[in-house]
């Protein structure tokens, strides 16, 4: 199965300027997505280009805003008060699944990245109905790498490299089809596999992670997974 692998200019695809806000990016995406979605008469390849452009711009915008937040002089930030609720971190990382019963040479590194808005006070206190995924999430994605970068150059897999790369390509294509990923891309280069899949919300991306894990195990491979959340204050829109 072919994956989306060519370069695009996301600004031209969505028709926004380089200083566009998250809200402007999101609004432009909704208009383009409606126009090019296969269910409304659009072409699948064109819709995938629109989705990838949105993923690229929204994630880049969040990373930039997060860095600006961390780089602000301490005196420019609001001083905490004893009665105010502490704001959640702008980024969290949690260790997840790790198949320790599988040889390190057969472990795939997988990051589950979700970009979402910070909750407001009523959400934090549980005084409102759960927001829709479309309102809470900008994007979720899975990034895969083999061999596991954690091993560095201390491990040699030449004897089984070709077989593992073939198995990984089959597993990746299976996950793309089984989970109906919004966008996907994979590459095999100099004995290294990298892959990326994107989804519109947490639930679908988490189900994709489970399917990925199950398929890897069926091929006598394993996973070292961690979750990274980027939280966006709504005023950054």
Read off the pLDDT of each residue in 70-79 and give the average, rounded to a whole number. 45
Q: Classify residue 25 by burial, with Cβ atoms within 10 Å: 0-12, 13-18, 19+.
A: buried
The contacts of residue 111 (CB under 8 Å, 6+ apart) are: 142, 143, 225, 226, 227, 228
Q: What are the two backbone dihedrals, phi and then psi, of residue 227, each rounded to the nearest 5 degrees?
A: -110, 135
Whether the predicted pLDDT of 234 surpasses 70: no
- Quickly state the pLDDT bin for 208 (edges 50, 70, 90): very high
Q: Classify residue 18 by burial, with Cβ atoms within 10 Å: 0-12, 13-18, 19+.
A: exposed
Q: For the chain, what are the domain ranges?
A: 10-72, 91-236
Nearest to 102 by CA among 148, 136, 144, 142: 148
Alpha helices for 109-201 (secondary structure H)? 121-124, 133-136, 158-179
**In this predicted model, which residue has the larger pLDDT, 48 or 97?**
97
Q: Does the pTM exceed 0.85?
A: no
Inter-residue contact 105 to 220 (CB < 8 Å): no
Q: What is the pLDDT of residues 102-130, one digit of tens each?
A: 999 999 999 998 877 665 443 433 334 45
10-72 placed in CATH 1.10.287.110: yes
Q: What are the two backbone dihedrals, phi and then psi, of residue 204, each rounded to the nearest 5 degrees?
A: -70, -35
Sign of CA dihedral 8, 11, 15, 21: positive
Please report where in the chains the tokens 């990274």 appear, as a residue: 228
Percent share of the chain, pLDDT over 70: 68
Read off the pLDDT of each residue in 161-189 and give the average, rounded to a whole number. 91
pLDDT at 34: 78
The contacts of residue 3 (CB under 8 Å, 6+ apart) are: 176, 184, 185, 186
- Over its C-alpha atoms, the chain yields an Rg (Å, rounded) of 20
């Amino acid at each position: 199965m072919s994956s989306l692998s060519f370069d695009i200019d996301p600004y031209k695809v969505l028709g926004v300027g380089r200083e566009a806000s998250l809200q402007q990016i999101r609004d432009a995406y909704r208009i383009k997505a409606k126009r090019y979605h296969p269910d409304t008469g659009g072409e699948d390849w064109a819709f995938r280009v629109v989705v990838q452009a949105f993923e690229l711009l929204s994630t880049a915008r969040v990373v930039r805003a997060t860095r600006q937040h961390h780089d602000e002089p301490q005196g420019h930030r609001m001083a905490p008060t004893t009665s105010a609720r502490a704001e959640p971190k702008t980024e969290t990382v949690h260790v997840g699944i790790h198949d320790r019963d599988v040889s390190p040479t057969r472990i795939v590194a997988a990051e589950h990245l979700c970009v979402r808005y910070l909750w407001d006070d009523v959400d934090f206190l549980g005084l409102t109905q759960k927001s829709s995924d479309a309102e809470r999430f900008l994007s979720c994605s899975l990034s895969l790498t083999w061999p596991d970068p954690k091993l560095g150059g201390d491990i040699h897999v030449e004897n089984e490299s070709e077989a593992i790369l073939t198995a990984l390509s089959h597993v990746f294509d299976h996950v793309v089809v089984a989970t109906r990923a919004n966008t996907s891309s994979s590459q095999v280069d100099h004995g290294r596999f990298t892959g990326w899949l994107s989804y519109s919300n947490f639930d679908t991306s988490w189900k994709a992670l489970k399917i990925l894990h199950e398929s890897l195990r069926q091929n006598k491979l394993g996973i070292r997974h961690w979750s990274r959340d980027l939280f966006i204050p709504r005023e950054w829109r």
